[in-house]
Structure 1
Amino acid sequence: MTQSVKPFHLPRHKQLGEPRLRFGRQDSNAVDVHPLRGLLDHGPFSQLRLAGVPNPIKIAFIGQEAMIGRLRHLATELQGRHEPKERRQFLIPYPGFTRVFGASIAPADRSTWITLPKEIDDQVTESDAPHRELADVLTSALSSLVAHRHSFDVVILGLDEKWSNAFSGDDHDDFDLHDYLKAYAASAGISLQIVRGGQSQRALDYFCRCSVMWRLSIAIYTKAGGIPWALADTVPNTAYIGIDYALRPNAGPTERFAICCAQVFDSDGAGLEFVAYEADDIRIERRNPYMREDQMLRVISRSLSIYQRRHAGSVPDRVVVHKNTEFRRDEVKGCLSALSSVRDVELLQVQRRHGWQGVIFDQPKSANRYPSLRGQVLPVGENEALMWTQGLVASIGSPPGYYKEGKGIPQPLLITRFSGRGDFFDLCRETLALTKMNWNNDGPYTQMPVTLEYADTLAQIVKRMPKLEARPYPVRLFM
């Protein structure tokens, strides 16, 4: 080592800027790195689209009599103004649903207010399988709304904490009430918002109403068919795909997997549909599933067809596929065969769990006040890099910036490329931007890109769907 080379110097390290989001106004200034501020200043991305969001957005309700009253009050709260009581470096005052989205919220016709009987409490308490008992009552209520499907846009269902022993199954029953209800509602084409009360961390009782209103309003707007924001700086004509797997509950010896392939959106912010492919004979290695070439070809081909249906049959110039396990040779061949007409194909493994860790040192033996900066990229190989999607964001909040995690040492993502020829830093920059596209969240970002955030959520819900059809589903039904 020469004297000019210092052991703590990392020559290939790069700090990426915070990605920008695009909002509703048709001018180049309708962008912001802050999702909430962008909504307030420029309106939602979809407000100028021909297929707009209904106005008013009509809300149906499901719950016991007292809960219906609380849910109606919640809908009224969404129209009011609320000041932040937490995360003040990021959270801005909420001015009301209409001011943010340009549409109002109103209760749907009373025929869509489903009041659950008081007897449910005893039925759940006395049942040997309380989760099944409660699920039957709630799915029956959802079923009764199918006949009124055109009278409402979103259903708000209130779960009382007194039923908490029925929210999941026992050790022998892989059951989750939230996922089960989402699966049932999605099968019926119903956008469902589940809220809970009884604890300080739940939507009905959380102390910071501003935080609740921002998160709930964005979710309801999206579930009604809106697009809050899109990415501002993407490669044109790009399709993003995320793949994840889930084992069906009570699977037999053949271990059937519901393989969820989510076509998240395109470079213009459209899309957000997914297809689910169920296959037998999935190869399991070290507890990770891998597809045969023909299986991967089918999954990717169906995803590509979603893009073509939305773009008058045209093929994207570029496709980026994310997976949290490595791409085996057969899977790479399946992807490339399905995308043979696409000019540029990037196959990336994005890992959350690995052996790498790191903190910032301003100088030798002197650690920085914050353990990491969001957007740091450190290549560790020709086609591998560590990227910190968590950490201090200098461009949000007052100096020195906003540290969402508050404490602890954020772990980087390990990104590995298995196919593609684009600039690797550009791929990292794009992956970082995709961490800002989860519309079921009121924060500035999530740790994982939305491709894999949604694919994981969808896979867990899809495996509980009573009937899995080979057709595209809107992602908003599963949020």
Structure 2
Amino acid sequence: MVGLEEDIENLKGWLHRFESFIPANPKGKQKGLFKSFPGFNQDQGFCAKFLYDTNYDRILSPKDVTEIAKESNHEKRILDAVKLFEENIKFLADIKNCDVIMCVIPKSFEGKIVLENKDEEPVEGTAEDDDGPELETNFRRALKARAMRFNVPIQIIREYILHDNKKSQDAATKAWNLCTALYYKALQTIPWKLEVDENRPKVCFVGIGFYRSRDKQTIQTSLAQIFNENGKGVILRGTPVTEDKEDKKPHLTFEQSYSLLKDALTKYKFATGMMPGRLVLHKTSKYYDDEQDGFEQAMAELGITEYDIVTVMETDLRFFRNGLYPPVRGSLFQLTEDRYVLYTRGSVHQYQTYPGMYIPAPLEIRIVSRVSSAKTVCREVLGLTKMNWNNTQFDNKYPITIGCARKVGEIMKYLGENEMPKESYAFYM
């Protein structure tokens, strides 16, 4: 653990509290939605326990924290804060044999180093990213990238999370989310996986995403986690790409799409020991002819004959149903033979409510090429929205193939050209 002494004491208090049963919030309006936490121990639930002591603590100096917070230059202030944590992460990774490092951000850094959560960046690197300073400097993204070289995943904790207040989640929900993330990062073991039909070929899912460089001058390719039903997979960084002159969307050449997918599948085989029997490709914009040709050529050379090529994108369409609640999660509407509207967020029968704050926006699923039924393709998209092990939210809007691409791109832009990105999602979430 890295942080001010009082913050580390509070964090240990929470970890100790997580070991025992925590009842669901009795004041919650949605009774069936929020569940009691069984306790993080070896007897039930995760069937594991936390191991930690003062030998693995790195206490930050209050004087150093105050001086950084007072720095007037915005970029220097953030980079100094990153360096402060990086030095202590390096020590723990080099000297101690730890599995995950928890970094508690001091309260005085709120608003100066870390800002209130904003909506996530657009999935694609488009003109929407052009607002803001000429050179992006983000504390979380920079620290994740710098810490990657030490080969130990980190967990960033905001100080206010260590208190029971209106700003943070109820204790049981907090326990579910934090313990799930720590379990995955520390053990590199997934807490749940997709439902698998043993009679079907083994499936591999690939998400292609794009991100702008920090200076917004170039667009890099970000290949999201390529993984199977068990969550095993790899992450690979691509090369700079160009924008289409007409629609301003990133555009891979034949050579880029070919080498990107072939390299990824080769690494996937090395990591899992086999090639997939079927491959599903997800992207959030249209497939140009040369892009698709490159992907198909790579699959053909590697002997993959069964594949589905799919676009998962935003839509302005909205559907309404009688009553107070929006359409049910999982609702599927067919527009044409290969165009569908899928609600990945919506009302849930099991909880008798809609667990969101705003009117849910469905996704449009465009099937470019397929061997599977449209219903299978859409069912897999829905299942993949549950595959984010950073929390226990069962209805993320995007499948992990797209959501992971976004998270990977946010952090990869802080890696140097010669720095090798980690292949596990644990280093990006």
TM bracket (short chain): 0.7 to 0.9
SS at match of 2:45: helix
Q: Does 1:134 align with 2:97?
A: no
1:240 aligns with 2:201: no
Deviation at 1:299, TM superposition (A): 1.3
Q: Does the CA-based 8 Å contact 2:235-2:424 persist in structure 1?
A: yes
Residue 161 of structure 1 is aligned with which of 85, 107, 116? 107
Q: Secondary structure at the match of 2:94?
A: helix
Report the more deviating stretch, 436-445 or 327-336: 436-445
Correspondence for 1:94:
37
- Separation in 2 of the partners of 1:470 and 1:272? 16
The match for 1:320 is 280
Quick one: which of 190, 206, 221 aligns to 2:168? 206
The answer on whether the counterparts of 2:242 and 2:251 sit within 8 Å (CA) in structure 1 is no
Compared CA separation, residues 127 and 466, structure 1 to 2 (3 A):
farther
Counterpart amino acid of residue 250 in structure 1:
D
Distance in 2 of aligned mates of 1:154 and 1:68? 15
Flag the 1:455–1:172 CA change in 2: closer, same or farther, 3 A.
same
Give me the whole-angstrom Cα distance separating, in 1, the residues matched to 2:220 and 2:196: 33
Helix, strand or coil for the counterpart of 2:62?
coil
Whichever structure has more strand as a proportion of its residues is: 1
The amino acid that maps onto 1:309 is F
| Counterpart mapping for 1:119-268 below 5 A | 119=63, 120-129=65-74, 130-149=77-96, 151-164=97-110, 165-167=112-114, 171-198=133-160, 206=168, 208-224=170-186, 225-234=188-197, 235-251=200-216, 255-267=217-229
Shift of residue 182, structure 1, vs aligned partner = 1.1
Output the CA distance in 1 between the equivalents of 2:203 and 2:276: 6
1:460 aligns with 2:410: yes
> Does residue 1:330 correspond to 2:290, yes or no?
yes
Residues in 2 aligned to 1:199 and 1:227: alpha-carbon distance in whole angstroms: 24
Per-residue deviation, residues 308-334 of structure 1 (Å, max 9, x unmatched): 11343x321110010111111111011
Alignment of 1:391-430 (within 5 A): 391-394=346-349, 396-397=350-351, 401-405=352-356, 407-430=357-380
Q: Structure 1's 292 and 450: CA in aligned 2 closer, same or farther, altered over 3 A?
A: same
Q: Secondary structure at the match of 2:383?
A: helix
Aligned amino acid, residue 36 of structure 2:
P
Q: Is the 8 A contact 2:153 2:427 kept in 1?
A: yes
Q: CA deviation at 1:468?
A: 5.1
Aligned residues: CA RMSD: 2.4
Q: Which runs of no fewer than 5 residues in structure 1 stay unpaired?
A: 1-60, 361-366
SS at match of 2:224: strand
Q: Which moved more, 1:382-391 or 1:231-240?
A: 231-240
Q: Is the 8 A contact 1:239 1:263 kept in 2?
A: no
Shift in alpha-carbon separation, 1:104–1:339, aligned structure 2, 3 A: same
C-alpha displacement of 1:96? 1.1
Equivalent pair of 1:276/1:468 in contact (CA under 8 Å): no
AA in 2 matched with 1:320: V
Shift of 1:70: 1.6
- Matched residues, number: 400
CA contact (8 A) 1:196 1:202 kept: no
Alpha-carbon shift at residue 278 of structure 1 (Å): 2.8
Matched, 1:118 2:62: yes
Deviation at 1:475, TM superposition (A): 0.9
- List runs of 5+ in structure 2 lacking aligned partners: 116-130
Q: TM-score, normalised by structure 1?
A: 0.78
SS of alignment partner, residue 227 of structure 1: coil
Do 1:263 and 1:306's aligned partners in 2 also have CA atoms closer than 8 Å?
Answer: no
Residue 474 of structure 1 aligns with an amino acid whose one-letter code is S
SS at match of 1:105: coil
Q: Are the equivalent residues in 2 in contact too, given 1:243–1:260 (CA < 8 A)?
A: yes
* 1:89-110 C-alpha deviation (Å, 9 max, x unpaired): 1222112111211111021561
Q: Are residues 1:304 and 2:262 paired? A: no
Match of 1:66 in 2: 6
How far has the Cα of 1:142 moved from its partner?
A: 1.7
Q: Secondary structure at the match of 1:67?
A: helix
Structure of higher CA gyration radius:
1
